[in-house]
Structure 1
Amino acid sequence: MGMQVSAAREPEPTGHRPLDELDRSIVQALQIHPRAPWTLVGEVLGVNPVTAARRWQRLERAGLAWVTAYGRLSDPRIVVTGVVEIDTEPGHGEDVADALGAHPEVVNVKLTAGGRDLVATVQAGGLEELARFTNGLFRATPGVRATRTHVATAIPTEGSRWRLRSLDATQRARLERELPRPVPTRDARHGGSPHSRGAHGLDELDTRLAELLGTDGRMSVPDLAKATDAGFTTVRRRLQTLLASWLWLRCDLARPLSGWPLSAVYFASVPARHLDETVQLLSTVPEVRSCSITAGPHNVVLDVWLRTLADVHTFEAHLAQRLPRLTVSDRSVVLRTTKHMGRLLDRDGACVGVVPLPHYADAPPHTP
């Protein structure tokens, strides 16, 4: 799959000045309802919708906040995920990170300190494809010394669930009530289809819409129709189906502006009989950005956001007290994230380009 990188851009002069309360409220509103109409956002926040839209556009143009669409990580029939630890030759860490970031299948890349030099997240349409891609990629990337891949068997908690804390309960409930309800669909896998998808998954139009939404998750239906040369009604129907069954949307914010400027990755283990209970509790811990259940020497990998370096150990002690069956085997502080869900990031965490995420049209059929 070829690389398609949007034109790089530097953040606007606003830089990383702290967001004011209205900016933070707009971001949280879109974290809850990523495609919320500006009329709704304005009503919930008590501001002019035009003001809310302009504030968002300023953040987006500066690379400080964005909305992305991506394949549902919780469904291995749509995408298989691997967490890869990478050891590099001395002095080659950043070069390897940049090379890996150019590939759509490599969705996240973190430069880390500790028992590995990088941690990357790789996606593929199946286990065989994941093995073929990772083996070929790392053999062909200069500076890679060794890799260890952990296949995610489930991702019970991921980044789209993380929220700022600017809106009150009434505002949050209002936005949640307006979220689109799942649309019942019948596709070729169940004996019928409102449009032809082929035998297994997404057709050409679906895939193109998914790619466009991966670049701008708030792209309007008229703009999507124009970009795909498809009818407005067709695009609206396809969009409903994609968001109901194939895609998730998330609103991300440059981490230094979130109030949680540091990040760490923890590799942990828990007895299999206590795994479900443990990950349910982990999903309630505010610092946990994502949690992957993996097959390997560690069966839990946590991506955590922290406020200070000292919290690396404070957080681990808190976990040990709250979850005594969870054993943290290793941890790495993230020195820099160079790619996050397809977004290329500068040294300040701002988005400066996009490598569209892959969308796998040949996902196997759902079991009836």
Structure 2
Amino acid sequence: MIAYPEVRRWAQDHCNAFIEVDLQPTARAYAVEVLSRVPQIASISIVSSGRDLFLTVLTPDLATLSRLVLEKLQQLPGLRGTRTHAVTTVYGEGNQWRLDALSPQHRVSSPPKAGNRPVWKDDYREVLRALGDGRSPAADIAARTAGSGSTVRRRLNEMIGGGLLSLRCEVAQPITGWPVAATFWARVPPNELHRTATALTELPEVRLCAATTGADNLVMTLWLRSLGDVQRLEAELAAKLPALSLTDRAVTLHAAKRMGCLLDDTGRITDVVPIDPWASFSNTDDRRGQPAGARAVVVRSPPS
């Protein structure tokens, strides 16, 4: 189980973005190694069709996002270019997606409590940084912070109950029956955007749907049962949502990182880099001066 800032709420108060990264072919492996260790980069996909990497980023503000793009990414050897799509609204994300393995009466959900919306305080940030694994006992988290076990439990309850923190059980995608991941870019007239995006979140294939800045004002990520479903879904969307115009699509060749979890070729977690939007870039290893094509360090699964 993983823990991270609830992204729909985060987009309302802070800054989410999708970044497309173009690289020289020999530079890709090293770029993935470096970017996987950046706490603001929640997810990294190696994709097809006109871009090399597709990043999901959480930062506290636009200034930090700018630093990430203009400083951190620009240091990558072999970089050809980037395209940044700032998120304006998140309509649905992976913590709502279901395999339908459980009946409705057996599903557990924790809707935010009514009342004033809480904000990210320093105490909450400290707990998030120490959490790492959503299954960590409060005593373990307390040992990594200045609080007691009871204090940690209270803060966690406040964060979850207030809709700040999301807990999600990850599963290796190849064994889910939905082994193909894809990303669609689309354009929707502004007066149809909310209705169209809301309808998209009701489709079983849609894992994430977000409105973005730019000519393509809607981005969605999908899990599909086969490559043929890409074409089938396009036809279905054209029939059901005439206001939606698909402009581009890309298939994920490999998900290297998903919401802080580093993944191997089978989709299993090999390590976790907790999401920390406030982390200093100086705390991450960018290995400046590494030549393009340098050999990447492979993070292997621990022995069973």
Q: Moved runs in structure 1, 4+ residues, more than 4 A?
A: 183-187
User: What letter corresponds to residue 72 of structure 2 in structure 1?
Assistant: L
TM-score by length of 2: 0.85
Rounded Cα–Cα distance in structure 1 between residues aligned with 2:226 and 2:117: 49
TM-score by length of 1: 0.71
Q: Secondary structure at the match of 1:95?
A: helix
Is 1:273 the counterpart of 2:191 in the alignment? yes
Rounded Cα–Cα distance in structure 2 between residues aligned with 1:139 and 1:290: 27
Is 1:231 the counterpart of 2:148 in the alignment? yes
**CA positional deviation for 1:152:** 0.3
Q: Secondary structure at the match of 2:194?
A: helix
User: What letter corresponds to residue 54 of structure 2 in structure 1?
Assistant: V
Q: Which residue in 2 is equivalent to 1:202?
A: 121
Q: Flag the 1:124–1:282 CA change in 2: closer, same or farther, 3 A.
A: same
Is 1:182 the counterpart of 2:119 in the alignment? no
Is 1:307 the counterpart of 2:225 in the alignment? yes
Partner of residue 241 from structure 2, selected from 302, 323, 342: 323
**CA positional deviation for 1:182:** 2.4
Q: Flag the 1:201–1:283 CA change in 2: closer, same or farther, 3 A.
A: closer
Instruction: Tell whether the 8 Å contact from 1:83 to 1:119 is kept in structure 2 after alignment.
Output: yes
Q: Flag the 1:146–1:219 CA change in 2: closer, same or farther, 3 A.
A: same
**CA positional deviation for 1:340:** 0.6
Is 1:99 the counterpart of 2:18 in the alignment? no
Q: Flag the 1:224–1:316 CA change in 2: closer, same or farther, 3 A.
A: same
User: What letter corresponds to residue 26 of structure 2 in structure 1?
Assistant: G
**CA positional deviation for 1:226:** 3.5
Q: Flag the 1:181–1:74 CA change in 2: closer, same or farther, 3 A.
A: closer
**CA positional deviation for 1:320:** 1.0
Instruction: Tell whether the 8 Å contact from 1:86 to 1:146 is kept in structure 2 after alignment.
Output: yes
Q: Flag the 1:212–1:257 CA change in 2: closer, same or farther, 3 A.
A: farther
Q: Secondary structure at the match of 1:311?
A: helix
Identity of aligned residues (%): 36
CA offset digits 1:153-175 (Å, max 9, x no partner) = 01111000011212223323xx3
CA offset digits 1:308-327 (Å, max 9, x no partner) = 11111111111111111101
Rounded Cα–Cα distance in structure 2 between residues aligned with 1:224 and 1:185: 26
Rounded Cα–Cα distance in structure 1 between residues aligned with 2:260 and 2:128: 13
Q: Which residue in 1 is equivalent to 2:133?
A: 216
Q: Which residue in 2 is equivalent to 1:72?
A: 6
Rounded Cα–Cα distance in structure 1 between residues aligned with 2:30 and 2:41: 15
Partner of residue 242 from structure 1, selected from 139, 156, 159: 159
Rounded Cα–Cα distance in structure 2 between residues aligned with 1:320 and 1:180: 33
Q: Which has the larger radius of gyration?
A: 1
Partner of residue 62 from structure 2, selected from 110, 120, 127: 127
Q: Secondary structure at the match of 2:7?
A: coil
Is 1:154 the counterpart of 2:94 in the alignment? no
User: What letter corresponds to residue 254 of structure 1 in structure 2?
Assistant: A
> Which region of structure 1 is more displaced relative to structure 2, 265-274 or 239-248?
239-248
Partner of residue 201 from structure 2, selected from 283, 300, 322: 283
Rounded Cα–Cα distance in structure 2 between residues aligned with 1:340 and 1:137: 20
**CA positional deviation for 1:277:** 0.4
Unmatched 5+ stretches in structure 2: 280-304
Instruction: Tell whether the 8 Å contact from 1:287 to 1:304 is kept in structure 2 after alignment.
Output: yes
**CA positional deviation for 1:302:** 0.7
Is 1:139 the counterpart of 2:74 in the alignment? yes
Q: How many aligned residue pairs are there?
A: 277
User: What letter corresponds to residue 143 of structure 2 in structure 1?
Assistant: K
Q: Which residue in 1 is equivalent to 2:283?
A: none
Q: Which residue in 1 is equivalent to 2:291?
A: none
Rounded Cα–Cα distance in structure 1 between residues aligned with 2:168 and 2:13: 17
Rounded Cα–Cα distance in structure 2 between residues aligned with 1:252 and 1:99: 23
Rounded Cα–Cα distance in structure 1 between residues aligned with 2:7 and 2:130: 19
Instruction: Tell whether the 8 Å contact from 1:97 to 1:110 is kept in structure 2 after alignment.
Output: no
